[in-house]
Amino acid sequence: MRTLEVAASPPEMELVAGRPRVLLDVPMHYCPGCTHGIIHRLVAEVIDELDLRARTVGVASVGCSVFAYAYFDLDFQQAAHGRAPAVATGIKRVRPDLVVFTYQGDGDLAAIGTAEIVHAAARGERLTVIFVNNALYGMTGGQMAPTSPAGMRTTTTPDGRQARAHGYPLRITEMLAGFEGVAYAARVAVTSVAGVVRAKKAIRAAFQAQLDDRGLGIVEVLSTCPVGWGLDPVDALRWCETHMVPVFPLGVFKDTAARPGHAPAPTGRQLPRADPSPARMLHPAPVPAPIGRQHTAPAPAGVRTRRP
C-alpha cells in the first residue's frame, strides 16, 4: 500500500516575474508587434529597481508614444511635438530633486525637435532621454523620417528614400555623444532577448547618469513598426536587424561612468563603436533594399535572425 504524503501547507512560492510596479495594468493602444510595449516595460522596471517612483516625472511626446503617460503610474507632462527636452528642462531646473525622463520617437526628436534635444544635451541637462527609432512616422501612417534608411519605401518616398532628393539618415546618438554635456549615449535594439537585456542595462545607465548628476543620458532604441513597414512582427524584427542596425550601429558611444576609477560601463561593449569617418556617414553601406508590402517576401520558416 502506498501512502501519499500531503504537505500540511502549500510550499512557499516566490514571485520571480510580474508587472513592474509603475507600469499600469491597462490595455495599450500600440499595434500588434510594436516594441513600444517592451520599451515601456524596461523603463518601468528600471524605475522600480532604482526605487524612483516617488520622485520621477515623465514627459510624453507626440507620435505613437503620445499616450505613454497613460501607461505609467507616475506624474507625467505631455509636451508639444519635439519640445519634450525643453519641457523636461523646465521641470528639472525648478525641481532638481526630481528624476525627469522624456520618451520620444524619431520624428519627434530627430526632426521637429532637433534644436531642443541638441541644446538640452549641450547644456548637460540632468535628464534621461528614451529615444525610440522606428525609421518612420508611425502615428501619421508611415511617412519618411530623418532616420529612414536609404531606399526605404514610405508613404512620402513611394519609390524609396533617395539620398539626392531626401538626404541621408541622421545618427543623432553619435552626434550627441560628442557633447561634453552628455554623460551616457548608447544605441540598442529590442529585437532579441539579448538585445532586450542590453537595452535595459542601457536605460538603467542613462537614469544612473542623471542620479549621479553627471549629465544627460540618452538611449536610442531601435524599434519596429510592423504596420508601417508592411511586415509581420517577426519579419519586422529581422528587418530591423538587417536594414537598420547596419545604418545605426549598436553600442555604447559614451559612458562617463566608465572612466578609470569608476565602475565599468553597465552595458556590453561587444559591439564595435560606430565608424565616424565622413565616408561612412555620407555613404551608409550596405544600402538596404526598399521595403513595402509589394516587395516583402515572407521570412522562410525556421530562419534564425542575426543577433545584434
Window 96-115: contact mask with other proteins (x via CB under 8 A): -xxx---------------x
Q: Is 166 in the site for other proteins (CB under 8 A)?
A: no
Using the CB atoms, write b or e for 235-273: b if 16+ within 10 Å: bbbbbbbebbbebbbbbbbbbbbbeeeeeebbbbeebee
Q: Which stretch binds other proteins (CB under 8 A): 58-66, 156-164, 198-206, 229-237?
A: 58-66
Q: Which of 119, 181, 256, 296 contacts other proteins by CB under 8 A?
A: 119
Q: What's at 169, amino acid-wise? A: P
What residues numbered 274-293 form the site for other proteins, per CB under 8 A? none
| Pairing between β-strand 136-137 and β-strand 143-144 as defined by DSSP bridges | antiparallel
Residue 94 makes contact with other proteins by CB under 8 A:
yes
Candidates 102, 105, 187; CA nearest to 143 is: 105
3-state secondary structure of 8: coil
Helix or strand (DSSP H, E) at 152:
none
Instruction: Say whether residue 267 binds other proteins (CB under 8 A).
Output: no
Q: Which of 80, 111, 139, 257 binds other proteins (CB under 8 A)?
A: 80
75 contributes a contact to other proteins by CB under 8 A = yes
Contact status, residue 220 vs residue 172, Cβ threshold 8 Å? yes
Question: Which residue number, 62 or 265, has a Cβ lying nearer to other proteins?
Answer: 62
CB of 99 to other proteins, least distance (A): 8
Window of 86-94, 130-138, 141-149, 169-177 that interacts with other proteins by CB under 8 A: 86-94
In the chain, what's the furthest Cα-to-Cα distance? 85
Let me know: does 295 contact 180? Beta carbons within 8 Å: no
Q: What string marks each residue from 10 to 49 as x (binds other proteins by CB under 8 A) or -?
A: ----------------------------------------
Rule CB under 8 A: say whether 186 interacts with other proteins: no
And the C-alpha cell for 181?
A: 554635456
Total residues binding other proteins (CB under 8 A): 36
Q: Is the peptide bond before 286 cis (omega within 30 degrees of 0)?
A: yes
Closest CB to other proteins among residues 13, 54:
54
Region from 89-97, 173-181, 197-205, 244-252 binding other proteins, contact rule CB under 8 A:
89-97
Residue 8: count other Cβ atoms within 10 Å of its Cβ: 4
Rounded Cα gap, residues 14 and 211, in angstroms: 31
Give the closest residue to 127 by CA, choosing from 215, 68, 254. Answer: 215
- Least distance CB 227 / other proteins (angstroms): 18
- Under the rule (CB under 8 A), what is the footprint of other proteins? 53-57, 59-60, 66-67, 69, 73-80, 83, 86-95, 97-99, 115-116, 118-119
